A and B are shown apart, each in its own frame.
Chain A
Amino acid sequence: MNIVFFEEVSFTIAFVIYIAAALSFFVYLAGGKEKAGKFGVIASIAGFIVHTAAMILRVIESGRLPFSNQFEFASSFTWGIVLIFLIIQFYYKFSSLGAFVMPLAFLMMGYASMLSKDIKPLMPALQSRWLTIHVGAAVISYGSFAVACGLAVMYLLNRKNMHKADSKLPDAEAYDYLSYRIIAFGFLMLTIVIVTGAIWAKYAWSRYWAWDPKETWSLITWLIYSVYLHLRFNRGWRGKPAAWFAVIGFVCVIFTFVGVNILLPGLHSYK
């Protein structure tokens, strides 16, 4: 047994725990048992720790950060989602948020689990410290958009039973605001992703911007969130339309992340 074996084992355990966390959040949401919510949070934390261990093992094995192929991105993306979720959970204690965010996490983890886990050495173009900042910021940015999307869905569902006294979901207003604040943060990070990506491209490929599909789609995502922020700030858009916008924005993020790779292969590689 070697490091790779332990890495795969911890990855799988983390995956299972994430599913368990999502399920118990559902139970909490459906049945209102405090315990289920608490268990969900504990499971998310445990899953996150095991997942972090898997990533660390991979770093040890490969001698670099896990940022260089679709499996590693997907795993890091999941990690980012859970990280942002736990931070928000720590501050605001919206246990029911888990029911909307953890499914995104385990779906992304499931996507990762279907990809090749081979550890390949970095191709020369990826050997850059800009890559670290670029992908690191992307993990945080995408994680934020995922959590904002979860909050928006919660808002949309909650609006319907806002007047029911026994609603387990806290104040819908709070989701709306928090979703917005997290999008603002994600937007800042996405800006950093695009800028560092351009700097890196300048050193690796000669052009800071080449309109390849990945770049273009990250720009489109950025434009969409920019529209959201403007409508919100200037037109007082909030509530339902804003929530739908947050969902659309995240669909765009997912497309940039997964769809572009599958449907629009571009030059994001060094031959």
Chain B
Amino acid sequence: MLKRFTNFLTSLKFGIILFIIIAVYSIIGTVIPQGMDMQFYLNQYQTFGSLMVFLQFDQVYSSVIYLVIVFVFIINLVGCTLKILPLQLKKMKDYIPNKGKNNENLYENWMDIEDIKRGFSKRGFKVIDREEGSYAVKHRIGHIGSSVTHLGIVIIILGALIGNMFVKEGYITLAPGEVYVFDEDGFTFRLNDFYLDLREDGSVEQYYSELTVYEDEKEPREEMIWVNNPLNINGMYFYQSDYGWASKMQITCADGHVHQESIIKENPHAFYEPEDLTVFLYGYFPDFSMDMHGNPVTLSQNVRNPAYAVVLYNEEGYVDSYIVEPGQPIKYKDIVITFVDSVLYTGLTYRQDFGYYPVLIGSIVLTLGILLSFYFYPKYILISPDEIIPVTRQNVWGFTIKIKKILEELNKVRGNNQ
């Protein structure tokens, strides 16, 4: 009973069932929107919504179900590979295949067997004479091709799973001059400059963040990050992923005394307590214009005609909205609100995922395994006084054609020599 169970667990049949389950489950994840909240599914799919959430269709790829399937898949794959590996290793050392019904005898009368053997020898085959007969063999290493491929897959999956448990990631924004301390990791960033490379049509060619990195016990150094060129600090990668405008907001009284000064970056709301006033910067438009619906837009990221769209709220709700130039005052009761000094800030995503390295190694192993399986597969030629039979499990047809060509060549050489 147990034996039958393990046999099934490690069988190719079960493997293929798992392949199909994985494929179907993955497809579900591409069809159903992922990561929305529960209400979305209940509304969208009515009665089925709750079942779908129960089956974790809302987060297929991070679901426990998926994890379990992948885990069973690994057990299946490892079990199946361990079952065949000993035989493969043995075959690599010493093995002569039997001829089957698909194997053609290419022997013809003109052939001188010793001559032919030398010919194969010259073409990279190893010719081995045995009592039972001779054979020529090449690429015996290919016997372990499937195991190498499978090993690659196992390394990839385990590397990814374990890596994901330790991923550190986040997002920071920095305006020029700002500093960010990565306490735990022992380094500090200072953004020296951030700029866009614009093309003639106004589209962005590239985004550049220039930083100074202060790392414990090391000289400070200058670094530059752009899209497709992340900065790697001890396995923590920093990516150019976003940008925006940071603006300085000042709240003064009529005589110019400054009450509050804040930098408005990602969070566009600022609160001024004494008046219970919320200042909402709807947007900064470096190249201000109105679209056909009367909404403010920017034509480019070039500072040509800068303007701020500002909305004020107090405890009773909406007060008013304004479009102002830099420094142009917005008056509210006794105070004056101004926006100035807008600069581009950079948005950097960071991610540390050591799983990448095993996944990369696994991918290389996988690719090598596939090469072994399909190109450096074991090739045998059984040779006896009246038989020349190409034998291979992988590709009898192609290999037979190849050997026919070699024999033709040998025939030509023989013709020339005579």
Q: Cβ of B359 and Cβ of A127 under 8 Å apart?
A: no
Q: Cβ of B205 and Cβ of A206 under 8 Å apart?
A: no
Q: Cβ of B228 and Cβ of A195 under 8 Å apart?
A: no
Contacts of A185 in B (CB 8 A): 374
Q: Which chain B residue shows the least CB distance to A208?
A: B356
Which residue, A128, A181, A191, has most C-beta atoms of chain B within 10 A? A191
Q: Which chain B residue shows the least CB distance to A121?
A: B199
Q: Cβ of A206 and Cβ of B239 under 8 Å apart?
A: yes
Binds A, one of B18-26, B187-195, B291-299, B380-388: B18-26
Q: Counting CB contacts under 8 A, is B305 at the interface?
A: no
Q: Counting CB contacts under 8 A, is A240 at the interface?
A: no
Q: Counting CB contacts under 8 A, is A94 at the interface?
A: no
Binds A, one of B89-97, B254-262, B363-371: B363-371
Contacts of B19 in A (CB 8 A): 223, 226-227
Interface residues on A, range: 35 or more
* Number of interchain pairs (Cβ within 8 Å): 107
Main SS of chain A's interface residues?
A: helix
**What 20 additional pairs, Cβ within 8 angstroms, besides A124-B204, A204-B239, A213-B30?**
A124-B228, A187-B370, A191-B367, A195-B367, A199-B360, A202-B237, A202-B356, A203-B228, A203-B230, A204-B227, A206-B169, A206-B230, A208-B356, A208-B359, A216-B27, A223-B23, A231-B16, A233-B394, A264-B30, A266-B30
Determine how close the nearest CB of chain B comes to the CB of A258; give it in whole angstroms: 14
Q: Cβ of B27 and Cβ of A220 under 8 Å apart?
A: yes
Complex Cα distance A122/B351, Å?
25
Q: Cβ of A181 and Cβ of B398 under 8 Å apart?
A: yes
Contact A173/B397 with A121-B203, A121-B205, A199-B360 known, Cβ cut-off 8 Å: yes
**B205 is contacted by which of A124, A177, A192 (Cβ under 8 Å)?**
A124
Q: Which parts of A69-123 form the interface with B (CB within 8 Å)?
A: 120-121, 123
Q: Which chain A residue shows the least CB distance to B152?
A: A191
Contacts of B226 in A (CB 8 A): 124
Contacts of B230 in A (CB 8 A): 203, 206
Determine how close the nearest CB of chain B comes to the CB of A137; give it in whole angstroms: 11
Report A's interface with B, CB cutoff 8 A: 120-121, 123-125, 127-128, 173-174, 177-178, 181, 184-185, 187-188, 191-192, 195, 198-199, 202-209, 211, 213, 216-217, 219-220, 223-224, 226-227, 230-231, 233-235, 260, 264, 266, 270
Contacts of A220 in B (CB 8 A): 23, 26-27
Q: Counting CB contacts under 8 A, is B314 at the interface?
A: no
Contacts of A120 in B (CB 8 A): 203
Q: Cβ of A125 and Cβ of B237 under 8 Å apart?
A: no
Q: Counting CB contacts under 8 A, is B207 at the interface?
A: yes
Determine how close the nearest CB of chain B comes to the CB of A103; give it in whole angstroms: 26
Complex Cα distance A181/B373, Å?
12
